Structure 1
Amino acid sequence: MALAAIFAAGCIASASAQAQKLPAGFVYLRDVDPTIIQDIRYAGSNNFVGRPLRGYGAAECVVKRKVGVLLKSVQKELALQDLSLKMFDCYRPARAVADMLAWSRDGRETTAQRRYNPSFSKADLFRLGYIAERSGHSTGAALDLTLVDLKVDNSATFNPNKDYADCIGNVNLRTPEGSVDMGTGYDCSDAKAHTAARSITAAQRRWREKLVLLMARRGFVNYSKEWWHFSLPGAAGQAYDFPITPRK
């Protein structure tokens, strides 16, 4: 019995270690800075596909170590202003990108999915540059993120049974994100989500400009069609397809 128990415990420990193993140079962001808020949307149903994407076995932000250190620097600066980063997506397995492509070509489109691309068909997302067939996220050097005001109530959560407004609608009617109002929801495929869009308020523009400036100071470059997307030139390298597994 004792030997069996020891063997079983060893197997559990081995499985746990395997679940936390990442390729060289990658880290769980929580191990670098646990204060950064995470809402990894592709690990659940609160996204434009409406289900977890392939490869997202855990709602964890995984990044290149250098990227994590730079995010920690941003967070340190924000903490002095009662603000925080919130991560929506980090490393994205190549299989998840393929899952997105297959979804865009399946010929079906629900009302919930149209909240994220209210002006055109999902089949046009790749052609128009809103989703890439080869994503920089798969290198571990691209990020989707926003800012959170820690002084306000951010407790509202996503209700899959609720009929929310389009991602370009009023912030009080859109899917709740527990973050500052950037003018559109996350993953909104629309001209209003372009970082320099003119169709947003002065306050929304200031939040976007603040985020871009904070990230630019650390070398991150924003993608002009998505106010939330940033990449770190020179840190990308090859694309990976390892699944995101529980940290512990």
Structure 2
Amino acid sequence: MKRILTAFLAAVTISAAHAQSLPGGFAYLRDIDPSIIQDIRYATSNNFVGRPLAGYNAGECVVKREVGLRLKAIQQELAAQNLSLKMFDCYRPARASLDMVKWSQNGHETAAERRYNPRIPKTELFRLGYIASRSQHSAGAALDLTLVDLKADNSAKYDPSKTYADCTAPVDARAPEGSVDMGTGYDCTDTKGHTAAPSISPEQRAWRKRLVAAMARQGFVNYSKEWWHFSLPGAGGAAYDFPIQPRRN
């Protein structure tokens, strides 16, 4: 009996050591609604920095539980329209924002970086309000996302060996994102990426309005310079810096 008890306690200890705990009421979005599509770009090289950012050890959307439940309600509404949310970024470790600051000050810009910043030097991105050194993402109050038409062909994948046009180009020329055409790619630091930009087509404007309206029905507010960025007033607080780790079943 003693050996059995010892073995049981050892198993519990191992299980606890491997369990992934999240602080401050955070949760993995997959545990709240696994149907929401995720493409966490800062965990990959497919972003404006060109490599995974500090603290992104897994491509998982981590959210405050209240935020996740509201996203679930939005997803249920969209599902009836053959649409889905697609998450690009959720909780962001504070160290990732500092990583962005260092990137902006490294003294050079590559062609791949210019795809995201076709007209604005990266040293100006913070001053102009496109990137924040202290982001609401780190407080769990902000999200980057888009819409996916589930009836469309979303099979095109990003190819790191291919040369794409910049983020303001027509959808067939820029890097594929497997989503509806919002007029620019994600993280496009250009006036065309402003939610109410006059330079986009009526169809693109309709998709943006549809996304903003769906999010607003659950209390989310859009940032006017980024059609993809939303925050939930009152959901924030102190910034966190815990790394995003792989989710365990």
Q: Same fold (TM over 0.5)?
A: yes
1:240 corresponds to which letter in structure 2? Answer: Y
Q: Deviations for 1:52-107, whole angstroms, at most 9, x for unmatched residues? A: 00000110000100000000000000000100000000000000000000000000
Task: Find the counterpart in structure 1 of residue 113 from structure 2.
Answer: 113
SS across alignment from 1:206: helix
Task: Find the counterpart in structure 2 of residue 101 from structure 1.
Answer: 101
CA separation in 1, counterparts of 2:70 and 2:26?
A: 14
Name the count of aligned residue pairs.
245
Q: Does 1:82 align with 2:82?
A: yes
CA separation in 1, counterparts of 2:121 and 2:164?
A: 19
Which consecutive aligned stretches of 4+ in structure 1 deviate over 6 angstroms post-superposition? 5-11
Map 1:192-231 → 2, pairs under 5 A:
192-231=192-231
What value does the CA root-mean-square deviation take over the aligned residues? Answer: 1.7
Give the TM-score, by structure 2 length. Answer: 0.94
2:119 corresponds to which letter in structure 1? Answer: S
- How far residue 15 of structure 1 moved from its aligned partner, in angstroms, is 3.7
SS across alignment from 1:71: helix
Q: Does 1:167 align with 2:167?
A: yes
- How far residue 176 of structure 1 moved from its aligned partner, in angstroms, is 0.5
Give the TM-score, by structure 1 length. Answer: 0.95
- How far residue 10 of structure 1 moved from its aligned partner, in angstroms, is 6.3
- How far residue 6 of structure 1 moved from its aligned partner, in angstroms, is 8.5
**Structure 2 unaligned spans of 5+:** none
Task: Find the counterpart in structure 1 of residue 145 from structure 2.
Answer: 145
CA separation in 2, counterparts of 1:158 and 1:136?
A: 28
Task: Find the counterpart in structure 2 of residue 16 from structure 1.
Answer: 18
Distance 1:157 1:6, change over 3 A: farther
CA separation in 2, counterparts of 1:7 and 1:72?
A: 37
**Structure 1 unaligned spans of 5+:** none
CA separation in 1, counterparts of 2:9 and 2:78?
A: 47
Task: Find the counterpart in structure 1 of residue 191 from structure 2.
Answer: 191
2:195 corresponds to which letter in structure 1? Answer: T
% identity of equivalent residues: 70
CA separation in 1, counterparts of 2:99 and 2:62?
A: 19
- How far residue 9 of structure 1 moved from its aligned partner, in angstroms, is 6.2
Task: Find the counterpart in structure 1 of residue 51 from structure 2.
Answer: 51
Task: Find the counterpart in structure 1 of residue 233 from structure 2.
Answer: 233
- How far residue 7 of structure 1 moved from its aligned partner, in angstroms, is 9.4
- How far residue 38 of structure 1 moved from its aligned partner, in angstroms, is 0.1
2:57 corresponds to which letter in structure 1? Answer: G
1:135 corresponds to which letter in structure 2? Answer: S
